[in-house]
Structure formats: structure tokens, C-alpha cells
Amino acid sequence: MSARVTRSSRSSRAFAIIAGCAVVILIAAPWWAGRADMRLFSEIFLYLSLACLWNLLAGYAGLVSVGQQAFVGFGGYVLFGLAIFWGVSPLFALPIIAILGVLVAVPVAALIFRLRGAYFAIGTWVVAEIFRLLASQISALGGGSGTSLPVSVVKSIASSRATRESVVYWTALALAILVIITTVFVLRSRKGLALTAIRDNELAAGSLGVEIWQTKFIVYVLTAGLTSAIGALIFLQKIRITPDAAFSVNDWTAFVIFMVVIGGIGTLEGPIIGTLIFFVLRETLADLGTIYLMILGLVAIAIMLFAPKGVWGYVKSRYGIELFPITHRVKFEEE
């Protein structure tokens, strides 16, 4: 009897084809979708990216951060700063912002990695609040009341509004695809196996040669960099930034946690499903006002009670399918 190891499955191959088609259709959105739809799609892509990254952080590395708004806001403010002070084109600024996000995350990680569990979570939030207070001190960027992106900078993306919105839309789509491909790539690598081991049992992972601190550090700074780029794009779309909007724990962390937990934390598919569920709920219930938030809360409670591993966790344990080729399967062949 011989055996070989595969990672793709029928479901993952089928999903790859469906995802490929979906991407083509989404790239063509400017020709078939309305302006409002495209704004909504961009928002979905950006939230999808935030959810995938938070999942990598909390679901895999066990770093339950409630302070990712620090990097969303950082990205937004750096974009405005680069554009207003040095006239850097916003799209060109994105990779710079990602690198700056990584650099800022290094000392932050060195500081908050001393904290464990709930203390770590509170620590990340405190850091985000410090970022917010610092941003409100920059008077050249409007201090506490914020500022808008100069018209000249906005026009540098594209002169017509329609083209500009298409460019922002495509960038958001590209960023979401980049984030998903990066997480798939990371999880398929040796470090990804180490990360998955940390997710399941830190003590055992350490005893089998996994460098826990180093692995968590890499995940933290990598997600910080990408989160900063997403933050920049969020506020490029809004064209206006204030410290309260940029460093909002509700918008950039609480909703994201909702998506990941509802969809299924610690799986790649979970955040994607969770983001879709969130937006379906929001778009159908938003007219109800505050009742909408109460329904979100009820959905969260119901999922935690009846499917604590989230929607995808339930599907996976019931049907054993996965959409991304991550896990190893041994196939035995009779000779």
C-alpha cells in the first residue's frame, strides 16, 4: 500500500472555479452596477479584508485584539498626511502606508506582547486610544474635528468622478483578493502549519519546536501593515477623516469581530461567510433603525448558543468540506 498527500479537494477545486468567475464579474462591476452598489461592494471588500486579518490574528495566533482600529486610523491619517503635506498620490501611497504600518506595529508589539489574554485585549484598545489622542493633536490635519482630502489630490486619481469611483472600487477589490491570497499562502506554508498548531494548543506547539513569540509577532506586524492599507483606502473612499471616525472601536473592530465569530473563527472561510451575513442583515434591516442593532445582537447570541464555532464551523464539522486547499489529506492507494 502506498500513500500520497494532497491538499486540494473536490470542493476546493469547485470553489476556485466559482471564485474565479465571481472575480471576473466583480471586476466588470463598473459596467453593470450602479454607483451606490459599487460603494456598497467596496465597503464589503474592505470589511472582508479586515475580517480575514482579524481572524488570522485572533483565530489563529490567539491574539484577541480589540484595537485594530489603531491601524485603520493610522492608515487613514498617514494617507491624508502624505497627500496634504507632500502631495503623494493616494494610490501610490498605499504600499508606503502598509510598510509604515508594519514599522509602527513593531514597537507596539514589543510593548503589548508582555500582556496575556484579556490584558492583551485591553492593551490593544489602550494603544488605539493613544493613537486617536495623538491624531487629534495634529492641528495641520484639523485636530479633533478632522479634515478633508484636498480637491487637487482627489482629482489626481482621475479627473472624472465615475472613473475615480471605479479606480477606488478596483483597488478595494484588489486589496481584498490580496488579503485572501496572502492568508491562504501564509496558512499553506510551514509557518502556517505552526500557526494552526498554536491555534489548537500553544503548549504542545512550543514543545514541538514552534517559536510561539516569533510566529505571533510576524502575524501581528503583517496584519498591522495590511490593516493600515485598508484603513487608507476606507478614508480615501470617504474623502473626509476625523479622529473619532478613524479610530472607532465600533466600526473597525466590533463589527469585524461580529463577522468573524458569526462566520466561524479559526477557519479561512468563516470571515468571508460572516461578512456576507453581516451585509445581508444590514442591507435588509437598516431601515429599522436601532432595532437593526438589537437583531445583530440576537443573531450573535443565537449563533454562540447553537453553533459556537460559527456558521462555517457548523458546516465543516457536519459535511467536512473546505473551500481553500489548506489541510493535508492522506490518500492510500492499493498496489
Partner 1 sequence: MNAVLSISSLCKSFGTVKVADAISFDVPMGQSLGIIGPNGAGKTSLFNLITGTLRADSGSIKYQGIDVSTNNSATRCRAGIARSFQIPQPFTAMSVFENVLVGATQGAGLTQREAETVCLEILTQTGLVSRANDLAGALTLLERKRLELARALAANPKLLLLDEIAGGLTENECQSLVATINDIKSSGITIIWIEHIVHALLAVVDRLIVIDFGQMIADGKPKPIMNSRQVREIYMGLDADA
| 199 binds partner 1 per the rule CB under 8 A | yes
| 197 binds partner 1 per the rule CB under 8 A | yes
Number of residues that bind partner 1 (CB under 8 A): 25
Cα separation, 248 vs 227, whole angstroms? 14
Report the candidate in 116, 124, 107 with the shortest Cα–Cα distance to residue 68.
Answer: 124
Q: Do residues 104 and 70 lie in contact, with contact meaning Cβ atoms separated by under 8 Å?
A: no
| 327 binds partner 1 per the rule CB under 8 A | yes
CB nearer to partner 1: give 115 or 193: 193
Per CB under 8 A, the segment of 40-48, 63-71, 299-307, 327-335 that binds partner 1 is: 327-335
Q: Which of 18, 110, 133, 204 binds partner 1 (CB under 8 A)?
A: 204
Per CB under 8 A, the segment of 11-19, 143-151, 204-212, 252-260 that binds partner 1 is: 204-212
Per CB under 8 A, the segment of 44-52, 155-163, 206-214, 246-254 that binds partner 1 is: 206-214
| 37 binds partner 1 per the rule CB under 8 A | no
| 308 binds partner 1 per the rule CB under 8 A | no
Q: Which of 22, 145, 200, 294 binds partner 1 (CB under 8 A)?
A: 200
As measured in angstroms, the least distance from the Cβ of 265 to partner 1 is: 11
Cα separation, 132 vs 290, whole angstroms? 26
Pairing of strands 147-148, 2-6: unpaired
Cα separation, 91 vs 120, whole angstroms? 33
| 194 binds partner 1 per the rule CB under 8 A | yes
Q: Do residues 60 and 198 lie in contact, with contact meaning Cβ atoms separated by under 8 Å?
A: yes
Strand stretches in the chain, DSSP E: 2-6, 147-148, 240-241, 329-333
Per CB under 8 A, the segment of 50-58, 120-128, 161-169, 187-195 that binds partner 1 is: 187-195
> DSSP letter string over 42-104?
HHHHHHHHHHHHHIIIIIIS----S-THHHHHHHHHHHHHHHHHH---HHHHHHHHHHHHHHH
Which value, in Å, is the radius of gyration of the alpha carbons in the chain? Answer: 21
CB nearer to partner 1: give 73 or 270: 270
CB nearer to partner 1: give 209 or 289: 209
Q: Do residues 65 and 124 lie in contact, with contact meaning Cβ atoms separated by under 8 Å?
A: yes
Q: Which three cell numbers stand for residue 285?
A: 434591516
Q: Which of 206, 244, 281, 295 binds partner 1 (CB under 8 A)?
A: 206
Mask for 210-249, x = binds partner 1 (CB under 8 A): xxx-------------------------------------
Q: Do residues 57 and 71 lie in contact, with contact meaning Cβ atoms separated by under 8 Å?
A: no
As measured in angstroms, the least distance from the Cβ of 330 to partner 1 is: 4
As measured in angstroms, the least distance from the Cβ of 199 to partner 1 is: 7
Q: Which of 21, 103, 162, 208 binds partner 1 (CB under 8 A)?
A: 208
Indicate the burial class of 75 (C-beta count within 10 angstroms; 0-12, 13-18, 19 or more). Answer: buried
Cα separation, 106 vs 103, whole angstroms? 5
User: Which residues here bind partner 1, judged by CB under 8 A?
Assistant: 3, 5, 190, 193-194, 196-197, 199-201, 203-212, 266, 327-330
